[in-house]
Homo-oligomer: A and B are copies of this chain.
Amino acid sequence: MTADISKKLKTAEVEKISHIDYFKIAISVDCVIFGFENKELRVLLIKSDLEEFAGKWSLLGDLVKVDEDLDSAPYRVLRQRTGLDDVFLQQVGSFGAINRHPSGRVITTAYYSLINIRNHKLEITDNEVHWHSLKNLKDLAFDHKQIIESCLQRLRIQIMDEPVIFNLLPEKFSLRELQDLYQAILGIKLDRRNFRKKIALKNWLDDLDEMEDDVPHRPGKLYKLKTGLKKNKLIEAAEKVK
């Protein structure tokens, strides 16, 4: 290296001192946990503990510690608030409008996940954590409504290409349940015949040769996701954003 070029260089310490005012931002993470129950897509919310948002609901989130990896923080939040520790969280995006947080400059990174409400028992210590139907979300704290919409948008794209949707269903399910779930996520009614044709083309399902029982309609055949597909596909989904 010539002396000419090295003259322009500065140390990391000088860089920090000359930009000390920039090191005044806090980062939070927010978890958008989707579940499916009674034909409705739901999201896990907690009552805000800020006076400015009294009575409003917010996502499960927290500030990132200075000595904590960004991508580890949402797992900590989820574990502390719900006891869940076997859920894969996918980063969706960061939200950083200047005035989004009343405490000062806080930029948040949102993560989302899909869980089967019946299989994942939440160990909720805080009785203000609840599943909410996406259909009638009232005013939420912060920009959390926008964040949920972004995650929903990501989910809508992802369920077309990858078998991630099966994380929301029990192991055995009928095509009727699967269609109900697609409809809940996409927010539209699907034609039964077209839907079944398209799902068959994906080649995701094994016919279990069993029928539903104890249902208030004509029992349908039961299916499960092909062995090995679910886990691999979730890992692939992770690779895509990492």
Which of A103-111, A198-206, A221-229 touches B? A103-111
B6, A50: Cβ atoms closer than 8 Å: no
Question: Shortest CB–CB separation between residue A121 and chain B, in angstroms?
Answer: 25
Q: 1/0 per residue A71-112: CB within 8 Å of B?
A: 100000000000000000001011111100111110101000
Question: Shortest CB–CB separation between residue A180 and chain B, in angstroms?
Answer: 25
With known contacts A11-B52, A16-B104, A150-B242, A94–B65 Cβ distance under 8 A: no
Residue of chain B at shortest CB distance from A8: B49
A191, CB-defined interface residue at 8 Å: no
With known contacts A12-B50, A51-B11, A102-B12, A66–B96 Cβ distance under 8 A: no
A208, CB-defined interface residue at 8 Å: no
B64, A9: Cβ atoms closer than 8 Å: no
Residue of chain B at shortest CB distance from A239: B153
Residues of A1-50 at the interface with B, using a CB-CB cut-off of 8 Å, are 1, 5-6, 8-13, 15-16, 19, 21-27, 47, 49-50
Q: How far is the CA of A6 from the CA of B55 in the complex (A)?
A: 9
Residue of chain B at shortest CB distance from A70: B96
Picked from B5, B6, B25, B104, the residue with its CB within 8 Å of the CB of A26 is B25
Closest A-B pairs by Cβ, 9 of them:
A70-B96, A12-B102, A16-B103, A12-B103, A22-B63, A23-B26, A22-B26, A9-B51, A94-B94
Known: A9-B50, A70-B95; 11 extra A-B contacts, CB below 8 A, are A1-B55, A9-B54, A10-B50, A11-B51, A22-B26, A22-B63, A27-B96, A68-B98, A70-B97, A71-B96, A154-B240
